[in-house]
Every structure is written in C-alpha cells, then in structure tokens.
Amino acid sequence: MRKVLLATTGLTVGTLMAVTSAIAGPFGNTVDEAKGNSQVVLDWLDGKLDNYGKNNVTYDGPVIEFRSSSHIPAVSSLAKLQIQGFDQLEKMSNGKIKVSTTWSQTVHGVREGRKAVRTGLSDQAPCFSLYTARDYNVVGGLGLPFLFNNSHEAVATAEQLYPKYLKKEFERFRVKLMREAHTGPYHLYNNKPVRTLEEVKGMKVRAGGGTHAQIIGALGATQVSMPGASAYTAMQRGTIDAIHFNDAAALIFKLHEVSKYRTANGFNVLTIEYCMSADWFDDLPADLQVVVNNWGRQMAIAEAVGFYDYGGLVNVEKMKSQGLEIVDMGAAELDKWKAAVDGVEKAWVADAEKKGVPATAFMADIRKNAAKFAGMTPNEVMLDAINNPVQGVYDMK
C-alpha cells in the first residue's frame, strides 16, 4: 500500500510539457515523468493508497444505494475511470454506500442530467452548465481564455471558490454539486495546418456553447454549437471546418481520423459539473455526508489528472503514432490570439457586474488560486485534496 503522509512527494519536477504545449507547471517533459508526477492519482484510482482522508464511519444501518447515470458509453475510458472512482467511494464508506451505474443515455441525454437528478431519476449525473448557459451568471467565468494551464489546476481552483461564488447559483435548481470538473485545454483539430490567426478567420468551428462559443467568435471564426459526439460526422460531411476540442476526448471521438492536424493553442478549458440529488445527500447520516464530501473532492482531482491531463498526454502520443501532425505556434503568434480574445473576459465581467455578480473579485480569486496550483505537481494537488478537503460545498448535519 502506498503511504500518503506529506503534501510533497519528492518525485521529479518537470517543466513545460513539450508534446502538448498546453500543460504548464511541474508536470513533466515526457510521458514517464508525467506518470511519476501523477502517481498518487493513479494509485488512488487503483485503490492502492492507505490514506483516503478522515472517514470515520459509524453508521451501521442498511447499505445505501447511490445511482449514477451518464450519457457516455460504459466502454469509454472516462466511464472506466469513473467506475474506479466509485470503487473508492464504496471503500471510503466501508461498503455502506453502493454505487449503481447506467450509461449510454439510458436514463437521459447529454443535456438532461440536471433534470434527471432534480426529478429523482438519478442521484448523480453530469449537468453541463455550458448547455444551459442562460441559467448561470457566475460559472462562465471559469471558462474564460488564458486562465488555466491544465485540468487539475482549473478543478482545484473551482473547488476552492465554489462555496463562496457558485453554491447558490447551482443549488437554486434543487441540486447539489457532487464535484466540479474541467476538461483539459482545447486545441484546434482540422485538415489544414493552421499556424496563424488569419488562417482561422472565417472557418466553421465546432464549439461547446456558452463562453466557448464567444471565444471562437472572437477569433473571427463561425462557431457551430454541437455535442462532441456529433463532431466526427460533421467533419466528415464538411458541415464544419475544424473542431476545438480537448485531447482526452479527441481520441475517444476519433477526431484524428477526420483531422490531419492539431494546432496547439490550449487557451481555454470547459466546465463540466456533476450534480447530486439534494434529497439523497440530505438523507445521509452525518458520518456518510463527510465521506461523500471527502470523496467528491478527491474524485474531482483524480478525474482531472487521470483522464484529462495525463490521459490527454497519452492520447496525443497515440494519435501522433497514427499520423496526426502537431502544429505549434510560436509565442509571438499566440500573443495575437490572446489579444483577439481579450475582449471576451472584459465583456463577461461587465455583463456579470450588471447582474450583481462580484465578477471582478471572482476573476482576481481565480487567478490567485490558479497561480497557487500551477506551482504544485498533480501529486501535491491530490494530496492536498486528501488531507485538506474543501469545506462548505455542502450544508452538513
């Protein structure tokens, strides 16, 4: 069993991930280095740690079922990782919480997760705020460009800020947040080697909606909002010219089969929230509420690192081996892209402030936390989630 005692691990601290040009901070220069700097997460998923936080379970009643539903297929790598995570929830609860899962849109589609949780069809489901962007005034700030270098940095920041800025916004829909998630940085998958901002202007680019759509528009491209699963066919048919997508999901949707090039810009991540039934959580005994909070904070980082960051890096290598060519823009060219999307944040802040959102303070807190987590290895961020889980996400008994 792996001992988890300190907030540092002594593993190799790398620099900018050369293969992706998007994962900054102490992550690693090679896949092997990145694996070493992510080993605590990988061991957590495999159930090899001997410390999962302070989970003092005293409840001795019947086993409590936790129904999780998702639109993604059970055979996908993300589903497999989440199943590993559910195993740890069962372990942390001493078997008193038993997770049952349904996949592949059996219970709801990609846009209906929040409704499924609210109406009692599920106890947990992904509830993408980007698909219901008009319902939220704050969370869109987390998807603004050039805030984060990677998924775990974004997730750790969002988790810290959720109680102060986001809790009321989500709970007014009679759901609680199981965990915050962010994709890895988005890059441009296309069939021509886009190297300059001028070359992207006028292109029809798949975007996820909300803030993401505004970013694509600011680049001078035409954003086409559609679920990621529809992008492959749209690219085949010429409905779109390019797909702005994260590397972890790009391989799942086989974008390298319909794209010859990946232009590395990585200037934004998308938020993905997992909603939890308020009724289910409120009915839990106090000790299991603590377990659920501890698990949610750990699972958020585990998914960020295991699937989006380390997993995304591995996926890029696989796609490269199958012919995908990586186009890296120089710093001077990337600065032009930064300048092009600069107005997106300014407009978002101005609009949010009009609605009574303390947007300026929110953005300052985002950058403060992002800088903190950017200086930590994935192992250190995970250990922090284990030893110092965020409090205030839920109103506990």
How far is the CA of 191 from the CAs of 221, 256, 259, 263, in angstroms? 15, 10, 5, 10
**Domain extents for the chain?**
186-267+323-347
pLDDT at 18 exceeding the cut of 70: no
Q: How far apart are CA 20 and CA 10, in angstroms?
A: 24
Q: What value does the mean pLDDT of the chain take?
A: 90
pLDDT at 19 exceeding the cut of 50: no
CB neighbours of residue 200 within 10 Å: 23
pLDDT at 7 exceeding the cut of 60: no
Q: How far apart are CA 181 and CA 216, in angstroms?
A: 21
Per-residue pLDDT averaged across 270-288, rounded? 96
Q: What dotted CATH number matches 186-267+323-347?
A: 3.40.190.10
pLDDT at 166 exceeding the cut of 80: yes
- Which of 85, 91, 1, 4 is closest to 51 using CA atoms? 4
pLDDT at 208 exceeding the cut of 70: yes
Question: Alpha helix (H) ranges present in the chain?
Answer: 31-37, 39-45, 77-92, 113-118, 151-161, 167-171, 197-200, 210-218, 231-237, 247-252, 278-282, 286-303, 310-321, 331-354, 359-374, 378-387
Q: Which of helix, strand or coil describes residue 143?
A: helix
For the stretch 217-241, pLDDT in tens is: 999 999 998 877 788 999 999 999 9
Q: Indicate the residue type of 290.
A: V
- Which of 397, 137, 162 is closest to 288 using CA atoms? 397
Give the model's confidence band at 2: pLDDT under 50 very low, under 70 low, under 90 confident, else very high.
very low
For the stretch 169-197, pLDDT in tens is: 999 999 999 999 999 999 999 999 999 99
Share of residues in the chain with pLDDT > 90 (%): 81
Token pair 């299991």: residue: 288
- Which of 384, 390, 382, 299 is closest to 83 using CA atoms? 299
CA 387 to the chain's CA centroid? 21
Q: How far apart are CA 120 and CA 175, in angstroms?
A: 10
pLDDT at 362: 98
For the stretch 109-133, pLDDT in tens is: 999 999 999 999 999 999 999 888 8
pLDDT at 355 exceeding the cut of 90: yes
